[in-house]
Amino acid sequence: MKIIELLKEDARRTPALIATMLGASEAEVAEAIRELEEANVIVKYATVVNWAKVDNEKVTALIEVQITPERGRGFDAIAERIYLYPEVKSVYLMSGAYDLLVEIEGKTLKEVASFVSNKLSPIDRVLSTKTHFILKKYKQDGIVFEDHEDDRRLLISP
């Protein structure tokens, strides 16, 4: 677990560095990482990008989807149909007022709206959708995107 946590914090950490941090041999750490990758525990190494700092506008939307589960397969069949679309970044089965939460990315609001109306809503067993557009990301995967200044207020003492 410690190796997973260290890689989750920074995927650029080498087996040598992790071995030093854990007091283990580099060979042991490299073998453990290889086993985690082969078992699909570690699925991908990813970069978290602060898109607000890049001149590449994207529209991200979170869509609440209510569905009627399919007999024998529950929510899985519909979730699979949805996550196969390339614009879909994440699909989660949720508890509460809706069943699936779908995260999609598009170039424009119109492109996202087109996905919802032409691809998502017509799926058999989709009862309703509610789309929320992300206006600004403050934090993702534990990383704060905001450049904030230190608190410069004066201390007031009694």
Query: In terms of domains, do 61 and 87 share one?
Result: yes
Number of domains comprising the chain: 2
Global pTM reads 0.74
Which helix (H) or strand (E) segment is 28 a member of?
helix 26-38
39-59: average pLDDT: 83
Please indicate whether residue 92 or residue 157 has the higher confidence score (pLDDT): 92
Instruction: CATH number of the domain at 61, please.
Output: 3.30.70.920
- Of 37-41, 44-48, 62-66, the range with the lowest mean pLDDT is 44-48
Query: In terms of domains, do 76 and 118 share one?
Result: yes
Question: 137: which 2 tokens?
Answer: 């990301």
pLDDT of residue 39 exceeding 70, the answer is: yes
Distance of CA 135 to the CA centre of its chain: 16
Query: In terms of domains, do 7 and 82 share one?
Result: no
pLDDT band for 131, please (50, 70, 90 cuts): very high
The boundaries of the domain holding residue 17 are 1-39
Query: In terms of domains, do 32 and 78 share one?
Result: no
What pLDDT is attached to residue 78? 94
pLDDT band for 148, please (50, 70, 90 cuts): low
